[in-house]
Structure 1
């Protein structure tokens, strides 16, 4: 998809790919042929510009057809560069304005509780969104209402448009902050599949009436060494001849089944 446009939020997509893989192919309940199935788990992409990563998961899950991949970011496409619920099957919310996804997740989780549904709400947010006051208002509300059907997932890649997130407005010690707000907290290597599987299992099985959060430390541009070492990775510029090299690097690093 990045090659179609010659640019994009590739660094974030590669960094969070493992998190999405475990979410969709281990942790979540959904029907590929019925994205609006009432009993589905909801996945909220608060970070709208990560849409390129979520589209890849939706294609792998069979919710979107693979032949639409070539339309990414073009006029009339169901795959706009920033995620929009009105356009894309499987996209639960429009997440372009950062800092609102967790609040929407609280509302959805409350609604499911009142309908006596056992569906869960997974909300993916960024470390940069931890600098938004609305995020912490939502965190307080979730704990107050004992929303044990809400699982927050924080992509902690320590990168924002203006530099490292810990230098812009640090959320550290981030695990302690979530715990102080009444959440069940785990912090894991977000590029370690086994660690993610264990963390999602623990979040789903935790017996307390508390919301759960998994802070995932990820590496921007994970799997493409020559991109991983670049200083500016928030919006990656990739030369035309580099796309094939990047795909070769990803294929070479793919686990053998």
Structure 2
């Protein structure tokens, strides 16, 4: 066992090799304190821990890197900062996380798990709250589970789960234990809806919500004559 302690930051560069796909990558991890366990091929970081890999930045209070399977485990105020293929940025927050470096895949969970998507032409981000959030390939897809709340400039959707496609910018909400419900605002109207399935397109040039499966709802219109 080797312990390294430096007052400021320690930079440790390791090469990640995927034997299945024969792809090599590089990641840089830093922390106030680093412990390297050679026999187990494990690196432990404590205090202001940070990992940079393929343009993604992950910060946390503590990190554990397992070289054998290229998994980075993070604990305590975990934040992932990244960009989608179209250049729009997103971030994910959680109490804990596993990030699979070779696959660019991550799992975040805890009471304060949140994903934020910053569209280029929108002043406010799309904010998604859930108990667990899984991302794949820099947000090509995002899956969220349990007590999901999705907040947009057009309204809010409540559901058990959601699948977000980063290429089509569609969010799909489906009935599991409960039916998804939506509160949507447009002009001087507010709509309250419930359905077995909702598909929400968040693209600025094609914002719409499609509902199917015993759709119920009501519309409230603001009286401007008063």
When normalised by structure 2's length, the TM-score is: 0.26
Bigger helix share: 1
Bigger strand share: 2
When normalised by structure 1's length, the TM-score is: 0.24
The structure number with the bigger radius of gyration is 2
User: Does 1 or 2 have the higher relative contact order (CA < 8 Å, sep 6+)?
Assistant: 1
